[in-house]
Amino acid sequence: MSDAPRLLKDAAWLREGALARLVAALTADGEEARVVGGAVRNALLGEPIGDIDLATTAVPDEVMRRAAAAGFKPVPTGIEHGTVTVVIDSRPYEVTTLRQDVETFGRHASVRFGRDWRKDAERRDFTINALSAAGDGSVYDYVGGLDDLKVRRVRFIGEPSARIAEDYLRILRFFRFHAAYGHGAPDRDGVKACIAGRAGLAQLSRERVRMELLKLLLAKYATAALTTMSEAGLLQQVLGGVADLAAFDRMTMIEQAQRRSPDPVRRLGALAVRIPEDAERLQQRLRLSNAEFERLRSMGESWWRISPASERDARVQLYRIGPERYLDRVLLAFAHSQDDARDTTWAALCTLPERWIAPVFPIKAAEFITRGVPHGPKLGVALRLAEEAWIEADFPSDPTAVAGIAAQAAVQAKA
């Protein structure tokens, strides 16, 4: 593999502004800094650039000194591993000193700082993530990443099984990056190595698995990647149950057709939740946040009762569970239906929270006390009966109708 750099065609993002000032501060007096990883990959693919990471030959203390001297704010976020976060105009840039592995113990490798760009690239996960770009836009490729980018191939650097053994999360990252950037079938050697190393998934923290899975669910070609994972026996191991790939695929199509932003929790619900107990299983497998768990558990309750034939019933659901959980359930029911993703009746149910604001129950406890209902259990019964009757009457606001509902509930409660 030639070390000769190639020039990045559009590098204004690299040559101008805060990033250019940071690279210049770190590239002087015998030291060098380059942008590495995802930013270079996405720039070459013409895709949006998110977080920008840098690598440098300068040791962490020198990075801290130079950043401060340039007027930036250095934060030693992972200085023991060689990482300093430099904040410029409220934007963080992660700067890591070049490293090379000395000895590897699973995810925890013994490392030492180095000055060899090739060795630093060779310790990364995939070829397309090991590219680096200097301040003038020169792109350096030591492992064949440029060729793999041309054909949209996600490939492990070196021996796939060895890279996976360093960190078993790379099994999920392999499929996530293929879903985001790959074309066609995933690299065969990579898939084989993932299958061979699947037992290592059990060693990972549930939080890391959750984070990686939710990113995968948002990827452009997530359905195809998840299908391969299912066929390889990997997806069941992650979820602890059988995945519904058809419902997941329909959810992605419905989100697009209905112009809904992709939602990883909702997609997880389509993939793995049919009943509330499924949410409990996922909570154990993935250590979901409380909010994520409650959303999924709500999705698993009574979604099968939602029908586009009855907007009145939909209003009841919206009143009882609120706009967010209502939309989750409607979209899950839609995903399990056989209707077209552009179906207008389902679309009407999806937009109900935008067209109808659930009213506040208008009858208070004082109303029943004045009607002779005593404090205690009977008062609670009267409120419950009245609310059910009010909902059944389609949420009337007319004072006469409301008074009639209260009177009847008071009689029933006192009986």
Region for residue 360 given its phi and psi (left: phi exceeds 0; alpha: psi -120 to 50; beta: otherwise): beta
Q: Collapsing DSSP states into helix, strand and coil, what is residue 22? A: helix
Q: Collapsing DSSP states into helix, strand and coil, what is residue 88? A: strand
pLDDT beyond 90 at 101: no
Phi, psi angles (nearest 5°) of residue 95: -115, 125
299-334 pLDDT, tens digit each: 999 999 998 888 999 999 999 999 999 999 999 999
What does the domain layout of the chain look like in residue ranges?
6-150, 152-240, 244-358, 365-414
CB 49 within 8 A of CB 13: yes
Q: Give the residue ranges of DSSP H helices in 53-205.
A: 60-69, 117-122, 145-150, 160-166, 170-181, 188-196
For domain 6-150, say whether CATH 3.40.30.10 is its number: no
Q: Whose CA is closest to 326, among 336, 316, 335, 341?
A: 316
Phi, psi angles (nearest 5°) of residue 140: -110, 135
pLDDT beyond 60 at 219: yes
Strand segments (E) across 316-361: none
Tell me, which fold does domain 152-240 have in CATH? cca-adding enzyme, domain 2 (1.10.3090)
Provide the residue type at 87 as one letter: V
Distance CA 331, CA 298 (A): 12
231-281 pLDDT, tens digit each: 999 999 999 999 999 999 999 999 999 999 999 999 999 999 999 999 999
pLDDT beyond 90 at 102: no
18-38 pLDDT, tens digit each: 999 999 999 999 999 999 999
- 6-7 and 138-140 beta bridge pairing: antiparallel
For residues 80 and 86, the model is more confident at: 86
Distance CA 58, CA 83 (A): 11
Strand segments (E) across 1-68: 6-7, 33-36, 53-56
What's residue 314's pLDDT? 93
Q: DSSP states of 381-406 as a string?
A: HHHHHHHHHHHHTT----HHHHHHHH
Distance CA 387, CA 57 (A): 69
Average pLDDT over all residues of the chain: 94
Give the HSE-up count for residue 175: Cα atoms under 13 Å, Cβ half-sphere: 32
Provide the residue type at 28 as one letter: A
Record the pTM. Answer: 0.89
User: How many Å separate Cα 414 from the centre of its chain?
Assistant: 53
Q: Supply angle C-alpha 160, 171, 98, rounded to 5.
A: 65
Percent of the chain with pLDDT over 90: 90
Distance CA 400, CA 382 (A): 18
What's residue 213's pLDDT? 98
CA gyration radius for the chain? 28
pLDDT beyond 70 at 3: no
What's residue 4's pLDDT? 65
pLDDT beyond 80 at 411: yes
